[in-house]
Structures are given as C-alpha cells and as structure tokens.
Amino acid sequence: GHEETFSDPLVDCRECKRRFRADTLLEESLNRAAEQVMADLLPVFQRFGEELGAFIAELERRERERGRTYPNRWTLVTEALQSPEIQEQLRHRCREFSEWLSRPIPGVNSGPMRAWVEAWEQIAPRFRERLDAIRAIEASFGRTYESDAQLLQRAIVAYPAWTTEVVRASWNELFVFLNERKALRCPHCGAVGSFTPPRRFNLMFRTFMGPVEDEASLVYLRPETAQGIFVNFKNVLTTARRKLPFGIAQIGKAFRNEITPGQFLFRVREFEQMEIEYFVRPGEDERWFEHWVEERYNWYLRLGIRAENLRLREQSPEELAHYSKRTVDIEYRFPMGWGEIEGIANRTDYDLRAHSKSDPGNEHSTDDLTVFDQTTSSHFTPYVIEPSAGVDRIFLALLCDAYHEEIVRGEKRVVLRLHRDLAPIKVAVFPLLRNRDELVEIARRIAADLRRVVPGRVVYDDTASIGRLYRRQDEVGTPYCVTVDVQTLSDKQVTVRDRDTMEQVRLPIERLPEYFAEQFRPEASLVG
C-alpha cells in the first residue's frame, strides 16, 4: 500500500522541458476553465432572475385587479412557472437565457449549452450511486472518490460537449483526453496540448536486502516513521502498563525521492521526522485533537517564534489523506512564503485496524490491536491523534525567525536571537587584553566554574578584539558574554553583556554561578 500512496503522477512539457504534477495541473486547469464558464453564466442568471421577478410582480398586480389573491408568494411563483401561457411569455421575455442555451460552448467549436444542461441531468445521479457504493466498503476511500467526482464535475462544467467521454474516464485518462484536445496549458511557457502522458513517480527509495538483487530481496527506505509505532502498539500497552489516553513519541530519519528538492532545508530527500501517536477512546478524539493543535502551536511560541509568523491552516476535504478525519497544518512564513512545519491529524482507527488481525481484511496479521474496556466488557480499536513535524523545517524556521540585521553606531550588526535554551553556546567569557596573564587566568577560571552550573556550552575566547568577539557571539546567538577587564583586578567584578539589548552590568565574580543558574533555570525554559 505504501508504494502506491507515496508516488506522484508527473508530466513533462515538451516545449519548455519543465516537469509538473499531473493531478495538480489538471485540477488548476479545470478550476480556471470552470470559473470562466460560471463567470459567463452569472450575469445571465442574474438578469433572468430580475426579469422573472418583474414578470411575477406584474402577474400579481393583474390578478389582484381581478380580485384574486394568493396565500403566499411561493404559490404565485409555482403557478406562474407551471402555466403554459406564462411559460411561453417567460421564454419570450427571457430571450437572453434562451439564446444562451443555444449558444456555442465557450472553448468548444460546436454544441449548444443546452447539451450541458441535458447531459448534467443524466450524469449527476451516477456520481451519487457510485459514491454510496464506495462508502459502503470503506468510508475513507469514499472521501477520496468524492474528490475525484468533484474533479469530473468541474470538467463537465468546463467542457460540456465532451461529457460522455469525460464521465467514463479516470483522472489519468481525463488528463490525456483534455491534453489531446488542446484544453491544458503549460503554466510556465503557455504551450497548449504539449504534455507527455502522466507517469508514476515513486517517492520511496528502492534498495535490496542481501547479496542478490531480485524481487524477493526488494525493500524500501521508510518514507515516514509512524508505522513502526502502530506495529508495536500492543507491546508498549502491555509492558509499560499504560491506560488510555497515552502516547508514543519517536524521532528518526525518513527518506523521500523528492522530485524537486530545494529551498535549502525545506525540501530534502533525507530528513529528520518526529511524531507522536496519541491513542484515545473513540468519541474523545475531537477533544484531544483540539488539545494537541493548541499544545503544538504554543510549543512553537515557547521556542521564541513570533506569533505573526505562525498560522494554523485547516485542510479542506479535498486535501485530506485517505486515513484522516481532520488535519490542521502549522505553517511558518518563510522568506519564500508560507510553508508547513507540522501537521496534526486525526487518523481515527485506520492504522490500528490496518495492522490488526481483528479486521477481516488482514489475513496476514497475527496481533489483535484492540483494547478491552472493563466497564462495558467489550473490545474497541483506539483512535489516534498524530502530531508530525519535520525537524529540519523547524530548524530552518528558527533560523529565519531569529536572524536580524540592525545598524548600531553606523555599522551593521547581525544577531541571531535564539531562545536561550536553543542557543548552541550559552555563555562566552573573554579577557579584555589577552597579553595580560592575570586577566587570562581569571577568565579561564570563570569559564571553568560556569561549565559546572550552566546547562550547555560555555566557551573561552581571546582571539580578537573585544568588539569583534561580541559580534561573533551575536552572530551565533550566544545570550550572554562575560568580559574580564583591568578593573576586575581591583574590584573583583566583571561585565556581563546581554545579546538582545546589548546592556552591560557589573557583577561580582562570586555571584556569576548564582546569576546564570537563575537565567537558565528550568522554570524559565522550554520545559517549564
């Protein structure tokens, strides 16, 4: 199933040699064509409504003069539309609508619009029948089919003369059909009908296990990390003695044969993924879904990412994966635009049922992944709420959000305003003069003492002037710098400089461990 799920249909433009996803290209083209048709129809329908309203008002006035009244306006409208005499007058008065029904279809050489109306009346019931049949087998696939049906409906709206051919086609056949009839345009060079037939592009990396490269030894690098959790669900449930709700979290490598890797770390073929599979009772899934959306959004705020650069985006029914009941993406505003850094999905019981022998369709499964409810003396399959995030994308978002350039005393200052818990270096210690041995000795001793209390890296540096040392640490995001100067020899105090404000305070050397322990205490950090 994964090989089919993790593959994309691709086409190439023969003119500009660019590559596109066929399904995305088809959907965008049909949307534009259908919108053009509806834009053409809207003024006609509006004028038709205005003329119909004026005609009914005139009819009501005439009937009132005859002493006849109607119990309500709907009765009047119904009678007006059913009367042969009035229908004839309506057809005469609404000439524009009648003429429109006989006009050629936009973008098609022949065939009146009336053909679209008649064809749609015949075709529409078939969608409902086929959709109901699919839903009876599997609700999640029913939603996928419904998306395909909507795609076909847009094709019928856009190209009604081809309704008979369109309604019988799969989306792949539909792409070829419309491309051959010059109905698809390349978004890059504008060429029409220039695409190659769609080909499946496998997003999973193939390799072979063992010395012989044959079908029996064919394996794939995992495209996601989630499935291992579902397979081991029952082991964790029994050995850890957990009760619902509980979660299993993991972080690890995943691999995808991306078509167009790029934008630095945003789209790569090997990436780090972290996921939580949170198991809940059916019926409680919506409440826990909302909980995890809020919790994960707030986690990014606690990382220091600015709220104006974050947003929650609910996926439309057409976007949802076949296993998802509901999905919300957390997106960050990168320099190249908004991009997803995490998705929270309500996967229902799809995955556990797919791996459980309790499901009749899993003839090769050996484990029963249901849970026994002692209060009702029955078994049930838990629902799963899944927060899934790309570590590389989060790292890129943190860098983008923390990077600042500013002018200080006429010079450009680059500073990386990372949250103190994320900063790779927590404190840097400098002697003001590296040729004064007594200053160097004090600075090295301070650095050694701080390493015992600061939860992170403390560095000593004397390889440049004090101004250049400050700029170096600003650029890597070091929150605090400690400078030992000549005055330290007499008052036993040092200068502590804050990265963000550049404010400097004098503190006694013996107070430094207490001061930095307070600055980096857990209550003030991400774990609080």
Region 61-78: what's the mean pLDDT? 68
- H helices, E strands: number in the chain: 18, 20
- Residue 242 in any domain: the answer is yes
Structure token pair of residue 182: 């010059």
Q: Which residue has the higher pLDDT, 298 or 232?
A: 298
Q: What is the pLDDT of residues 301-322, one digit of tens each?
A: 999 999 999 999 998 887 788 7
3-state secondary structure of 182: coil
Same domain, residue pair 232 and 368? yes
Q: Which of 399, 430, 459 represents a domain boundary (last residue)?
A: 399
Please classify residue 369 by burial: count the beta carbons closer than 10 Å to its beta carbon, then call 0-12 exposed, 13-18 middle and 19+ buried: buried
- Residue 426 in any domain: the answer is yes
- Residue 205 in any domain: the answer is no
Give the pLDDT band of residue 423 (cuts 50, 70, 90): very high
Q: Is the pLDDT of residue 239 over 80?
A: yes
Pair 234, 279: CB distance under 8 Å:
no
Helices 139-158 and 171-180 pack at an angle, to 10 degrees, of: 10
Same domain, residue pair 385 and 472? no
Q: Which of 373, 399, 425 represents a domain boundary (last residue)?
A: 399
Region 487-499: what's the mean pLDDT? 92
Same domain, residue pair 433 and 362? no
Same domain, residue pair 138 and 107? yes
Q: Is the pLDDT of residue 169 over 80?
A: no
3-state secondary structure of 210: coil
Same domain, residue pair 485 and 386? no
Place of tokens 């534009």: 32
The total number of residues shown for the chain amounts to 528
Same domain, residue pair 151 and 45? yes
Cα–Cα distances (Å) from 21 to 8, 105, 241, in that order, read 7, 28, 46
Segment holding 347, helix H or strand E = strand 337-348
Segment holding 315, helix H or strand E = none
Q: What is the pLDDT of residues 498-528, one digit of tens each?
A: 999 999 999 999 999 999 988 888 754 554 4
- Residue 358 in any domain: the answer is yes
Q: What is the pLDDT of residues 380-390, one digit of tens each?
A: 889 999 999 99
Same domain, residue pair 19 and 41? yes
- Residue 280 in any domain: the answer is yes
Q: What is the pTM of this model?
A: 0.67
- Residue 503 in any domain: the answer is yes
What are the E-state strand segments in 349-431? 371-373, 378-380, 383-390, 403-408, 411-416, 425-431
- Residue 220 in any domain: the answer is no
Percent pLDDT > 90 in the chain is: 32
Instruction: Give the integer Cα–Cα distance in Å for 348 and 370.
Output: 13
Q: What is the DSSP string of 205-232?
A: PEEESSS--SGGGEEE--S-SHHHHHHT
Instruction: Give the integer Cα–Cα distance in Å for 13 and 190.
Output: 10
Pair 356, 371: CB distance under 8 Å:
no
What CATH number should be reported for the domain holding residue 502? 3.40.50.800
Nearest in space to 423 (alpha carbons), one of 457, 447, 451: 457
CA dihedral 104, 110, 115, 117 (to 10 degrees): -40
Same domain, residue pair 232 and 336? yes
Quote the pLDDT of residue 181: 79
Its domain, for residue 92, covers 2-195
What CATH number should be reported for the domain holding residue 261? 3.30.930.10
Backbone angles phi and psi of 297, in degrees to 5: -65, -45
Q: What is the pLDDT of residues 90-115, one digit of tens each?
A: 565 555 555 555 555 444 434 444 55
Domain count along the chain: 3
Same domain, residue pair 318 and 436? no
Same domain, residue pair 390 and 434? no
Angle at 392 between CA 225 and CA 245, to 5 degrees: 45
Lowest mean per-residue pLDDT among 121-130, 287-296, 304-313, 355-364: 121-130
Q: Which of 178, 195, 212 represents a domain boundary (last residue)?
A: 195
Same domain, residue pair 290 and 391? yes
- Residue 203 in any domain: the answer is no
Structure token pair of residue 289: 């879904």
* 1: DSSP letter: -
Q: Could you tell me where the DSSP H helices lie in 66-112?
A: 73-82, 84-93, 95-102
Same domain, residue pair 433 and 365? no
